[in-house]
Amino acid sequence: MLITIICCIFLSVALFSGLGLYSLLPKKDEVLERLGKMLPEKAVPATVTLTEVKPWWKITIENLGAQMPVAPREHSKYTKMLEAAGLRSESLYLFIGSKLALALILPALFVFFYAVPRGVLMETQSLLYITALVIIGFLLPSVWLTYKVKNRKIEIFHTLPDILDLLTVCVEAGLGIDAALNRTCDTPQFEGNPLAEELKTAARQIRAGKPRSDALNDMAERTMVDDIEAFVTMLVQTERFGTSLSLALRVHSDSLRTKRRQIAEEKAAKTAVKILFPLLFFIFPALMIVLIGPAFFKLTDIFK
């Protein structure tokens, strides 16, 4: 038994020592590694794909959405909402097809995994469940899209004053509005921000030759944010009338911060009313039981 314990301890120490020293051992000769870095790398022929390779399920859903009749009004509404959510307008048929696919898949799962094995397919309750699942599956993508649009609008609204401050600094430093937009979009602070991405798109359109007012108006239509529309209107009017751009940006940024503070104060004022119902239905009953419970039991003992 003692020999077994000694062997186990020896193997454990050897194993941990080997693991600790393995990281210190040279994996490759340093001279060969440096020479390998100096040698020119072999050019790998790049294959240029002009079209995106889509998976089969996405192609199936898009074909399903293309076959679904949609009114022009709904078509335009869904396109604007997809652009406001940060998605491409080419995803319209994928979105419509997902509505139809979920309306078919959810009831099918219920039928094959619950109704058919239990033999309750033709009962009234099962038919109601199937109808509810069809409606839920059809409306679920719209709910998700509305939620995504709302969150993106809130993020853009909270980012706009900071971007306006940076634009003001760039303009006061002597940059033009186009160069200031490019410099603001390239700031690491706003990397991945939806407003910075929209400004990048507008800056690319301006560099491609599109008039600045049209590019900015298109950005306001894509975002569907009222403050962006006011910002674009301010820029267009400042360019048209020749007023001070830095002063206009500073005043607009201050007004947006005031509006943001007022919204926060409004939400704080509503908190007292919103917290009343949880207090009334959850906190007060438990508090009354804790306070009145002992007195109630004492009274019952007295009047026995």
- How does pLDDT run across 21-77, given as a tens digit for each residue? 555 555 445 555 655 655 555 444 444 444 557 787 778 888 888 887 778 888 888
Domain CATH number, residue 232: 1.20.81
Tokens of 36: 């390998």
- Report yes or no on 82 lying in a domain: yes
Whether 49 is in a domain gets the answer no
**Does 186 lie in the same domain as 135?**
no
- Distances in whole angstroms, Cα of residue 7 to Cα of each of 2, 29, 30, 64, 239: 9, 35, 38, 68, 85
Q: Are residues 265 and 204 in the same domain?
A: yes
CA distances 41 to 28, 35, 36, 44, 215, Å, are: 19, 12, 9, 9, 43
Whether 157 and 139 map to the same domain: the answer is no
Range of the domain at 176: 153-270
Residue 228: both structure tokens together: 């962006």
Does residue 275 lie within any of the structural domains?
A: no
* Beta carbons within 8 Å of 189's beta carbon, 6+ residues apart: 162
How far apart (Å, rounded) are the C-alpha atoms in residues 65 and 59?
A: 10
Q: What DSSP string runs through 198-224?
A: HHHHHHHHHHTT--HHHHHHHHHHHHT
DSSP 111: I
Helix/strand/coil percentages in the chain, nearest 5: 80, 0, 20
User: Which of the listed residues 122, 150, 178 is the one where a domain comes to its end?
Assistant: 150
Q: What is the pLDDT at residue 46?
A: 44
> Residue 186 falls within a domain, yes or no?
yes
Same domain membership, residue 260 and residue 169: yes
Q: What DSSP designation does 28 have?
A: S
CA atoms within 13 A on the CB side of 291: 6
- Is the same domain home to 96 and 179? no
What pLDDT, on a 0 to 100 scale, did the predictor assign at position 43?
Answer: 44
Question: 226, 219, 151: which is closest to 181 by C-alpha?
Answer: 219
CA atoms within 13 Å, Cβ hemisphere of 54: 12
On whether residue 38 sits in a domain, the answer given is no
Same domain, 118 and 224: no
In a domain, 102, yes or no: yes
**CB burial of residue 107 (10 Å; 0-12, 13-18, 19+):** buried
Are residues 258 and 160 part of one domain?
yes
Residues 146 and 167 in one domain: no
Do 146 and 214 share a domain, yes or no?
no
Within a domain: 163? yes
Which DSSP string corresponds to 166-192? HHHHHHHTT--HHHHHHHHHT-GGGTT
- Please compute, for residue 182, the number of CA atoms within 13 A of its CA located in the half-sphere on the CB side: 9
**Together in a domain, 143 and 176:** no
Structure tokens at 245: 């751009």
Question: pLDDT of the chain along its 304 residues, tens only?
Answer: 545 555 555 565 555 555 555 555 554 455 556 556 555 554 444 444 445 577 877 788 888 888 877 788 888 888 888 888 888 777 888 888 898 889 889 989 988 888 888 887 788 888 899 999 999 999 999 999 999 999 999 998 888 888 888 888 888 888 888 888 888 888 888 888 888 888 888 888 888 888 888 888 988 888 888 888 888 888 888 888 887 888 888 888 888 888 888 888 888 888 888 888 888 888 888 888 888 888 877 878 777 6
- Domain boundary (121, 150, 179) is at 150
Q: How far apart are CA 127 and CA 130, in angstroms?
A: 5
Domain end, chosen from 150, 165, 185, is at 150
Same domain, 207 and 139: no
Check if the beta carbon of residue 129 is closer than 8 Å to that of residue 90.
no
CA distance linking residue 206 with residue 200, whole number of Å:
10
- How many folded domains does the chain comprise? 2
Residue 291 lies in a domain: no
Residues 133 and 167 in one domain: no
CA dist 241 and 19 (Å) reads: 73
pLDDT of residue 144: 93
Asked whether the beta carbons of 251 and 259 are under 8 A apart, the reply is no
